[in-house]
A = this chain, B = another copy of it.
Amino acid sequence: MSAWADELKWNAEGLVPAVAQDATTGKVLTVAWMNREALEETVRRGEAVYWSRSRGRLWRKGEQSGHVQKLRELRLDCDADALLLRVEQVAGIACHTGHERCFFRRLENGRWVETDPVLKDPAEIYRK
C-alpha cells in the first residue's frame, strides 16, 4: 500500500477519472477510470492500467491490442479526485476504434463530425 495513494479522493465506486495525454503531441487521448489497485499497478509497471467499468475488472491498456501507454508523468489535481497521465502511446493508436485518440469527433454546426481518420481497422487490431 502506498501512502501517496491515500491522498486520493475516490468516488462512491472507488474510482477517479484518469486523463491520458500524449506526451509528445499534447493531444488528449482518452478519459478512463482507475481504482486504487489500477493506479498502484500503473506506477509499479510504468504502463497505464485502468478499471474497466463495463467489464468490471482491471484493464491493462494494450493487453489485447498491444497499444500500451507508457507512463512518462503522473499528475494529481487540486481536489485529488482526477489524474493526468502523460504517456507515450505505443503504435500511435489509443482508441479501440483504431483512431489515434478517443476524441475523434468535434461539434460543428450542431453535429458531431468525425475529424480524424481510422489508422488501423479494429478487426485487424483485435484479431486473434
Contact = CB atoms under 8 A, between A and B. Distances in A.
Contact of A75 (B7, B26, B105): B105
Give the oligomeric copy count.
Answer: 2
Contact of A97 (B21, B26, B78, B105): B78
Interface residues of A, number: 35
A91 interface: no
A4 interface: yes
Q: Give the 6 A-B residue pairs with the shortest CB-CB distance, closest first.
A: A26-B26, A31-B82, A77-B102, A75-B103, A74-B107, A78-B102
A79 interface: yes
A107 B77 contact: no
A104 interface: yes
